[in-house]
Structure formats: structure tokens, C-alpha cells
Amino acid sequence: MSNLQEIADLENTVQVSARRFEESPYIARTGSPEMVRGVYAGRYLAIHNKEDPIEKYWQLRRKALIFDVPEKPVEINGPDAVPFLDKVLARKVSTMHEGRGYYAIACTPQGGVFMDGVIFKLGPDRFWYVQADGPFETWLLAHSGGFDVTISDPKSRVLQIQGPASIDIMKAASNGAITEALPYFRSGFFTLGGQNLYVSRTGFTGELGFEIYSDGARTDHLALWDHLMKVGAPYGMTFSSTRSLTIRRIEAGILGNLTDIDTTMTPFEAGLAPFINMNKGDFIGREALVDADRRCLLVGLTCQTATPAAGSVILDAGSAVGHITAGVPSPTLGCGIGYARFNQPGEWVGQSMHLKLTDGSLHACDIVSLPFFDPDKNIVRGIDRTIPD
């Protein structure tokens, strides 16, 4: 099942039981009759709130936005936590330092991408894996036999504060404890409005930003929300649905599990080879990856005359060679962009092709590398602090 957030999907809605999925503890502050919500990792999220997503996008790039996101932390702790995680993840966990975060992938035995997310080391034998969409907690339990570990749900809900003003906002929120001295992909416990919470300098937008993790029922979520909104107001921070986040994450080349990547493609085919440590010893999927094709199938596509839509077909000399997994308008580039998944490996980048939309129309398009801009991640690292006009 994909988690699409394209224009057509915002009207393609159904009613479901409110008890079927996990409600946000912030809904009393964010909910409205106009809100369109989706489900991700078994949690509700606001994908549209009748706001102008392009206006919110520029606020994200120029000031800051706060997002109530559904990524789900899963806790792994116990004496065997390190060897267990080294088995289920393709990233080397045994060398992690406390307060460090790694982007890490879990593969199927056949070498496909089962899950992606960020692993944080909270203590010597305590980790949180902040998972994307999919049944990862069940997967961990299924592979935990023979390991002295406990897999649990800490009931943590995640807020993201993203944008160039996020450093100043988090500094104010933490009474000066959080500064630029906290590097990218580092984390720790900080007091925010009188509550001790885990904070990481990460995000899902390609912009400078932070994620704040609540502590289940021990957290007064509405008091936290009010505190963050109060300190963020002088810097122009407002709440946004994830529509603006989706546009920016695709520009930044951030992939969505079950939408852009899934079990039918290897991490190499997804362009994620740098995050696969084939030399660390055995892990689930390693044997299948040893002789796997290292060439990438998932790249970028730009179109000057239309916005690529999921399911659109990519044509090369009239023959279908791939399709779009997700597409958005790029306000920064001034054109439509999308992820192009090709049927076969090839030297696709640099070629000009045609895009056949779901309405049957044909448009010229170009195949490009990912991300669409800022390949060195200077924006998210805070090196490039240029505010777009």
C-alpha cells in the first residue's frame, strides 16, 4: 500500500473507524473540519488542512513549520540489543556512540528493502528505531529468538520543527540548551517547557531542523505543543499538514517506504548503497546482496509542462521503460518533478524521454540524478543558510 499525497488523492477519501488507528495526542490543537487525514505506521496524520501548500512550502524554506508526523519509534533494549540490531539492520550498530543517529535499512532474506528509518542509541543497551510505514515491530519480534532483548512501543509521538529558524526556536524552547553545537544526526535529552524529552537534529524535509519525541503518557502533549508554538511565534513558525513536507522531501531525494521503495527492490537499486555495510558481518539479506546488481533503478525526473503523477509511464522512443512512484510541483525549480523507477538497470540519467500521464497526455521530460538540488546537504547541515527570495 502506497502513501500518496498528490492533488488527486486529497479528494479520494473514505471514512474509517476512529478507533482503528492511533489518534494524535495533538489533535485538540491541530484538528479542523477541513482536515484530510491519512494513515501511516498505524497512525493518523494531517496530509492537508485546506491551506495553500505552496505558501506553506515557502514558509518552510524561509522561516519554520511544525509538523505532527506519524513516524513511529520502536524501543529495543537488553543485553543483546547490539548483536540483535546488527543482525536485522544492514548498518553497523556495534560502533554507534550514545547520542548518535544512523539512517538504517532492514532487508528481507531475499535482499529487498523491508523498512527504512533512523536508529538512535539512547543508552548502552537501549535503542529507538524510528520506523517508516510498515509492520516493523512485528518483524523485530519475529527475528528476536535467541536474543536477550525486549521489543516495545514507547508510545512516543514525533513533532518536527523544520526550516532555517528552527535553531533559534529550539534554543528558545530549551532555554539555551540546544544550539548549533548539536551536530546533524545527533540527539539527546533536553528540558522543553519543564518536560524532559528526547530531541534529534534530523527531519524529513532537507531543511535544517529538529525532531522532538514525546515520552508516552508521561508527556503533557498539549502543554508541550503550547510551549513550542509560543516560543516559535516570534520566528514565524506555524503548523502545517504534511503536504508541504511531501513536496520538500521529494526535492531533497528522501524516499518513502512502500511508496518509492519496497521489498521488490534492493537497496542498491534504490540508490541506497552507501547505507549498506557489506563488511560488517552477517545480517538478514546479506547473502542475497553479495551478487546483486549494484546499478540503480530509481532516479529523478523533471518535466516543464506537467506535474508527474504516481503511475505515469516513462516512454523511451515509444516503449515503456519505467513509471513514476511519486510526483509534485517543485516551487524552487519551477517545474514538475518525480521519482522515476525504471524496469531495468541502465544509463538513464542525462537522457530525454516522454512522460505519459494517467490522463493519456504526453510530455517531454528529462532524467536527472537525485536529489534534485543541494546534493551535498549543505542546507540541512546548516552550512548553506541562504534564505530563498
User: Residue 170's domain is classified under what CATH number?
Assistant: 3.30.1360.120
Question: Do you know the residue count of the chain?
Answer: 389
Tally the domains of the chain.
2
342-361 per-position pLDDT tens digit = 999 889 999 999 999 999 99
Q: Quick check: is 269 in a domain?
A: no
Q: Quick check: is 164 in a domain?
A: yes
Average pLDDT over residues 86-93: 98
Predicted pLDDT of residue 1: 47
Judge if 308 and 364 occupy the same domain. Answer: yes
Q: Quick check: is 222 in a domain?
A: yes
Are the CB atoms for 327 and 309 separated by under 8 Å?
yes
Average pLDDT over residues 197-219: 98
Q: Quick check: is 364 in a domain?
A: yes
Judge if 300 and 182 occupy the same domain. Answer: no
Q: Quick check: is 288 in a domain?
A: no
Predicted pLDDT of residue 346: 85
Distance CA 317, CA 310 (A): 21
Residue 136 pLDDT > 70, yes or no? yes
Question: Which parts of 19-153 are beta strand (E)?
Answer: 36-40, 43-48, 65-69, 72-77, 101-107, 113-123, 126-131, 150-152
Judge if 167 and 224 occupy the same domain. Answer: yes
Judge if 184 and 39 occupy the same domain. Answer: yes
pLDDT band at 12 (very low <50, low <70, confident <90, very high): low
Are the CB atoms for 170 and 66 separated by under 8 Å?
no
Residues 6+ apart with CB under 8 A from 60: 162, 163, 205, 207, 240, 244, 245, 248
**How is residue 24 written as a grid cell?**
494524535
CATH code assigned at 330: 2.40.30.110
Full residue range of the structural domain in which residue 322 is found: 295-389
Judge if 33 and 170 occupy the same domain. Answer: yes
Distance CA 166, CA 143 (A): 38
Are the CB atoms for 161 and 228 separated by under 8 Å?
yes
Last residue of a domain, one of 189, 219, 250: 250
Average pLDDT over residues 203-213: 98
Q: Quick check: is 99 in a domain?
A: no
